Amino acid sequence: MLFVSDLDGTVVYSRRTAHRALTGLVGVEEYDGTMISWVTPDSWRLLARLSADGRFVPCTTRTWEQYRRIDLNGRPEWVICCNGGAVYRSGRLDRDWDETIRASEPPELAAAAAETAGRAAAAGWTCRYVPPYFFYLVVPPGTPTTTLDQIESRLPGGEGWHVHRHRDRKIYWISDAVSKGAAARYVAERTGSSVTLAAGDEELDLPLLSAARRALLPRHSSLVGTAAAAQAEVTAAEGVAAGEEILTRAVAELSG
């Protein structure tokens, strides 16, 4: 019995995604001296309980370093980072999963990343390569959608990798082997367990939601009402309160 959950926009919330005033919330992530992520006080208490329970597995597109900036009021034993590309147990990279992912690295991903980084730098954009999992472009605010369409058509997915556009804010080129669902199934296998409950708010979470017996979707998610997420239960609350509802349901499920 595992509860595998996305973090940003599902458990922890930014100023933009909280859907309420930040006063009274608990800050859980500081970056460059500024608080950038929050949870409700009840979420904070629930996180202490879940983080001490080996069955809560955070599952994020963040790298390990980015993940470690978030205070989950404890240290979950298993953590999935890099959109499923990297699995950590007690703070150590799981070598078996790492080998599996590295063995399936698309041969042309590094070259595509280097070329895109060069073009991005010339245009004043940021391109980040997180080998061997993916690379992404950070889209400057106000960039027309047609520009993004052009970028995507100029560099479509190749052999073993695909393109994913994240709310017109980032464009990812991701190895096909890298999936939150595959990593969640791997952790379940390693722990002799199964993915009982999963939660996530975005397209990259769909493989995770499909891997679970029960899936939770926060009401503010753009996946609500789509065929792809039809099997998921939608929370009554939205924003940071949806995070609390998800954690409450997880604690009930794990103790039930």
**Applying CB under 5 A, which of residues 5, 6, 28, 198 lies at the interface with Mg ion?**
6
- Identify which of residues 101 and 217 has a Cβ nearer to Mg ion in the complex: 217
d(CA 235, CA 197): 14
Q: Which stretch binds Mg ion (CB under 5 A): 42-50, 86-94, 143-151, 197-205?
A: 197-205
Q: Which residue is nearest to Mg ion (CB)?
A: 9
Residue of 8, 29, 105, 244 interacting with Mg ion (CB under 5 A): 8
Residues that bind Mg ion (rule: CB under 5 A) add up to a total of: 5
Part in contact with Mg ion (CB under 5 A); list of ranges 8-16, 36-44, 97-105, 224-232 = 8-16
Question: Is 180 or 249 the residue whose CB approaches Mg ion more closely?
Answer: 180
Reduced to 3 DSSP states, what percent helix, strand and coil does the chain have, rounded to the nearest 5?
35, 25, 40
Residue 89 CB neighbour total at 10 angstroms: 16
Q: Show the binding pattern over residues 201-230: x = contacts Mg ion (CB under 5 A), - = does not.
A: xx----------------------------
Listed in order, strand segments (DSSP E) in the chain are 2-5, 26-31, 34-39, 56-58, 78-81, 86-89, 92-93, 126-130, 134-138, 161-166, 170-175, 195-199, 214-217, 233-234
**29 is a site residue for Mg ion (CB under 5 A):** no
Output 109 or 208, the one with its CB closest to Mg ion.
208
Q: What's the Rg (C-alpha) of the chain?
A: 18
Q: Which is nearer to Mg ion, 37 or 116 (CB)?
A: 37
For Mg ion, the closer of residues 6 and 105 by Cβ is 6
Residues 6+ apart with CB under 8 A from 64: 79, 81, 82, 86, 88, 93
The residues that touch Mg ion, with contacts defined as CB under 5 A, are 6, 8-9, 201-202
